[in-house]
Chain A
Amino acid sequence: MSFLTPLLLAAIAALGVPVLIHMIQRQRTDIVEFPSLMFVRKIPFHSMRRQRVRHWLLLLLRCAALALLVAAFARPFLQSAALAAVTGGSREVVILVDRSYSMGLANRWERARDAARGVVRDLASDDLATLIFFDSGAQSGARSTTDRASLLAAIDAAELSAGTTRYGPALQLAQGILEESEQPRLETVLISDFQRVGVDSAANTLLPPGTVLTPVSVADDTESVNISVAGASVQRDIFSGRERATVTARLANRGGVPVESLQVALELNGRELESLPVTVGANSSATVTFAPFTVEDTAMPISVRTEGDALPHDDVFHFTVSAGDVVPVLIIGSPGAGEANLFLVRALGIGTSPSFEVTVRSVDQVTADDVAEAAVVVLNDVGLPSGPNGAAITRFVEAGGGLWVVLGERVRWPGDNLALLPGTVDAPADRDGRGGALGFVDYSHPVFEVFSTPRSGDLTSPRFFRYRPLDLPPDASVLARFDDGEPALVEHAVGAGRVLVWTSTIDSFWNDFALKPIYLPFAHRVVQHLADYNQPTPYLTVGQVLDLAQYPGAVELDLTSANLVVRDPLEERVNAGDDGRAGFIELSRPGFYEIRDTDASDTGLVRVAVNVDLDESNLEPVDPDELVAAATGRAGGDREVTTERELAPEALERRQTLWWYLLIGALGFLAAETVVSNRLSRTELDPD
């Protein structure tokens, strides 16, 4: 119980008035003058007062009436807890249990479940509870139930996941439950190891006012060894005509204890190929490089595994290695102008992922077969060949091929194939002095995306002395312009394919672009974009959703097939398409997912490597109060204080009606006092 105007309680001092009246009889008005009260003052006070209370009943009645009056004016009201007690008391309790894989460290998971069981057992009979297990997502069982048995059963059946800790989804789910609740008291119990990695996700979550969020930490301060395989890179080379891969694994030690002679094994399809010892210092990392192995055509499931430690989930790293991709490029140049292709050929000759298979033909030698075998055709300073070759290139583009048109001195474009160009080409234009530079670049385009971040290449460094102006329609897609506004690179869609037009040369005649470091990535990005090349993904992360339609390794699968079988790393069958959205797989376990169409014998097995999110390996804790403060909007130290929920005016008024009863009580006492005092007065006046 509390008071609306507690200051008025100071008036309780008025209780002294009747006491004084009773204790001290009417003072005599005559004053006795005395030389000195030195001796009188030395006598204890009580002997100077009239201390005998004559009418105890009257005194009590007066005191009670005054006390009730003061209490009534102080406007007492019932707080939620008290009201809950009055009305039978019920809470809405949401129990959040962290089941991310870091909870597998030591006995954290068991302690978390014990804590959850304790909360369930402490529930009153009319308390409503919801159990939510969360990692990067949150799942709740039966909502707002009073069935403690089912809650305990759910806790017993719960398992650790391979996901990461994110408090946001769990708190948002709890927020929704609490906001819908009718219960007078809202409570949330958060059982976790309180890793810092998950805190950011809770930034925008605010539990309803009045919610008591109680953190239960199962983390302990004991230092334990935590080695994780943080990643692996594959170096490819060609040996005896076969492609070989060399795996280098990176190991991180996030604990304060150095580890020596740790055995790290390279596994292929579950079989160990090689095992090497490695030493990792405390809070540092180390790499280990295995012997090369020959790459097969199909995706090879490779794992790097270390000896088990306290946290086993991050001790293994899965990825796939498949034969390197090759992009065939056909460069058609002018006869006798081999030097014009030199820079492009050299640039495309570098790189393994993908590697480019470059074929150079002069415009008079090129055949329709050459065009058909290419993924990208480059018309380097030549116009579209006339006759069947030109028609073949047009068909090639319309069928989805990529064409890079480089406009140089010699380009004469035949009038009947203007559809391949975004506009008409004018005569060469010169830039005087130091020449021009690129003035506008669309960094959001895949070609220039790699240059968008700072210090990743200065596209304004090349100087352009001559270019071929393009007369473009207003809606043309210009990816780059010179500083005088003329287009430098224009994209043009033709059928299913795409055409990129570069209005200057790709050698060193009209510009010095080919001499700049950015030339090589630029040429690679242009060709990859035209070839619609996607980098194969060596692995995915637990929690991601695999879209088979977009997964490079699974393009040949018929996603509408009823016989599409997906098995997770534990060989359990996974449903690959619900409610008509075929081909979406939620990756929940680390290891290799296998996808195959049992009907189509010609399509091979598709393997997808899945790893745990290594952020979870970072066990750095956060102060639970910090999280409580973020989720409740008040300091963690205040979590014991139950603030008042927003109540309807009727409910508020109902809680404050106590003053009525107090006032009635006071009036009753005053009436009794009147009767008693009158009777006493009569008795004293008339003793007989």
Chain B
Amino acid sequence: MSTVATTSPGARFIDPKVLARVGSLELAARIVVEGFINGLHKAPYLGVSVDFAEHRGYMPGDDIRRIDWRLFARTDRYYVKQFEADTNTNFSVLFDVSKSMSFGSRGLTKLDYGRFLAACLSYLSHKQRDRVGIVTFDEDIVERVPPSAKHFDVTLHTLDRMTAGRPGALGPPLYKATEFFKRRSILVIISDFYDEPEKVLDAVKPLRFAGNDVIMFHVLDPAEVDFPYDESSSFQDLETGRKIPVVPDKLREQYRGLVQDHIEALTSLCSQNRIDYAFLNTKVPLDPALFKYLAMRHKMTKVR
């Protein structure tokens, strides 16, 4: 633990494998986040305040509690006060717990990696008084914790006990999840996105179009990226069970090319649809992911 708490510049890059040994998720998240924040010396992306922006004329349907009565007293007209932003926004993790996420070539599965990532992000958000929730899904919604300021623990608990067992699909569960987020939220989707890029985007777009800010974390194991196998073997698809005799030497280059193409296609399509996308290799520490998240929060403040 003391090792992790070090303030040395490289200490914040904690190997996820080491992180996996930490039993408590909250602790692990705190280790990562606080180490991460400490390393920044300054947190330029934090401190989003509640600032008054402007008045606007009352429209039927506006909450009458937001009417500025003082202004009404002066002008005899109804005005509604508008603020820069709500500091405590909704934050939800949409976690893919399909069978393929249970893969890990280095002792750390993608599920574990995603678990830490989700815990860290939730912790960060919770620290900012955001409402935290989680939705786990495979081919359907598995579990749902609605965003709430009080649900941080439940969220962590859900993250802790979730397992990957069934085949997955993106479209149906995400479409169903769209209904859960009536209020504008920050949605973090953690998945390995094993589907055609167009289909992935088709599944994610409804969330984006509902006004949510969506960040896709594409988690892959190094073996999935590099295809380091040598012996010709029968490869079995974890989700479908289908077996294919494979001679890795013959197809490694092609495989790597296809994976890169997939990532590039997702990057491009997400960019076109104003969806944040980050590719994460589980051999890489969580910091880039956190950076990505914070950068997005920062961007949100800029846009507004």
Contact = CB atoms under 8 A, between A and B. Distances in A.
Interface of A: 24, 27-28, 30-43, 47-50
Contacts of B250: 47-48
B236 A33 contact: yes
Interface in B69-93: none
B221 A43 contact: no
A588 B232 CA distance: 95
10 contacts: A28-B231, A30-B233, A32-B229, A32-B234, A34-B237, A36-B238, A39-B262, A40-B235, A48-B244, A48-B251
Given A33-B238, A34-B236, A47-B251, 15 more contacts: A28-B233, A31-B233, A31-B236, A32-B233, A32-B235, A34-B235, A34-B238, A35-B101, A35-B192, A36-B237, A39-B258, A40-B235, A40-B244, A43-B251, A43-B255
Residue from B231, B242, B250 whose CB has the most chain A CB atoms within 10 Å? B250
Contacts of A48: 244-247, 250-251
B107 to A, nearest CB: 15
B194 interface: yes
Interface string B47-84: 00000000000000000000000000000000000000
Contacts of B195: 38
Contact of B239 (A30, A32, A36): A36
B258 A42 contact: yes
A50 B195 CA distance: 28
Given A28-B232, A35-B192, A40 B246 contact: yes
B259 A39 contact: yes
A39 to B, nearest CB: 4
A38 to B, nearest CB: 5
A27 B233 CA distance: 7
A36 B234 contact: no
- Lowest 4 CB-CB distances: which A-B pairs, in order? A35-B100, A36-B194, A35-B103, A39-B258
Contacts of A38: 194-195
A37 B244 contact: yes
B150 interface: no
Contacts of B242: 37
Contact of B103 (A24, A34, A39, A42): A34
Contacts, number: 84
Nearest to B220: A35
A35 B221 contact: yes
A31 B247 contact: no
A41 B245 CA distance: 11
Interface of B: 99-101, 103, 110, 192, 194-195, 221, 224, 229, 231-240, 242-247, 250-251, 254-255, 258-259, 262
Contact of B235 (A31, A42, A47, A50): A31
B258 A43 contact: yes
A494 B38 CA distance: 160
A460 B283 CA distance: 126
B221 A50 contact: no
Contacts of A32: 229, 233-236, 246
Contacts of B192: 35-36
Contact of B247 (A30, A39, A42, A50): A50
A35 B224 contact: yes
Contacts of B262: 39
Residue from A30, A34, A37, A40 whose CB has the most chain B CB atoms within 10 Å? A34
A50 B232 contact: yes
B58 to A, nearest CB: 54
Nearest to A35: B100
A47 B248 CA distance: 9
Nearest to A45: B244
Contacts of B244: 37, 40-41, 48
Contacts of B237: 34-37
A391 to B, nearest CB: 128
B194 to A, nearest CB: 4
A31 B238 CA distance: 11
Nearest to A24: B245
A48 B103 CA distance: 22
Contacts of A42: 258
Contact of A31 (B99, B240, B243): B243
Nearest to B224: A35
Given A32-B234, A33-B236, A37-B242, A47 B247 contact: yes
B168 to A, nearest CB: 9
Nearest to B103: A35
A50 B245 CA distance: 10
Contacts of A35: 99-101, 103, 110, 192, 194, 221, 224, 237-239
A26 to B, nearest CB: 10
Nearest to A46: B250
A35 B222 CA distance: 12
Nearest to B102: A35
Contacts of A37: 235, 237, 240, 242, 244
Contacts of B235: 31-34, 37, 40
A27 B235 CA distance: 12
A259 B136 CA distance: 103
A625 to B, nearest CB: 59
Nearest to B243: A31
A28 B240 CA distance: 20
B108 to A, nearest CB: 14
Contacts of B236: 31-34
A24 B239 CA distance: 26
B244 to A, nearest CB: 6
Contact of A40 (B99, B221, B251): B251
A30 B230 CA distance: 13
A33 to B, nearest CB: 5
Residue from B110, B192, B244, B262 whose CB has the most chain A CB atoms within 10 Å? B244
A37 B221 CA distance: 14
A34 B251 CA distance: 15
Contacts of B238: 33-36
A31 B236 CA distance: 7
A37 B234 CA distance: 11
Nearest to A42: B258
A156 B224 CA distance: 93
Contacts of B101: 35
A47 B221 CA distance: 24
Contacts of A41: 244
Contacts of B234: 27-28, 30-32
Given A33-B236, A34-B235, A40-B255, A27 B245 contact: yes
Contacts of A33: 103, 235-236, 238
Nearest to B164: A35
Nearest to A36: B194
Nearest to A50: B247
B98 to A, nearest CB: 9
A29 to B, nearest CB: 8
Contacts of A50: 232, 247
A355 B224 CA distance: 126
A102 B103 CA distance: 95
A31 to B, nearest CB: 5
A33 B105 CA distance: 10
B57 to A, nearest CB: 54
Nearest to A25: B232
B263 to A, nearest CB: 11
A39 B223 CA distance: 13
B242 to A, nearest CB: 6
Residue from A30, A43, A47, A49 whose CB has the most chain B CB atoms within 10 Å? A43
Nearest to A47: B250
Contacts of A28: 231-234
A49 B244 CA distance: 10
Given A31-B243, A33-B103, A39 B232 contact: no
B219 to A, nearest CB: 10
A43 B233 CA distance: 16
Residue from B221, B251, B259 whose CB has the most chain A CB atoms within 10 Å? B251
A202 B236 CA distance: 76
A384 B123 CA distance: 158
Nearest to B110: A35
Contacts of B246: 32, 40, 48
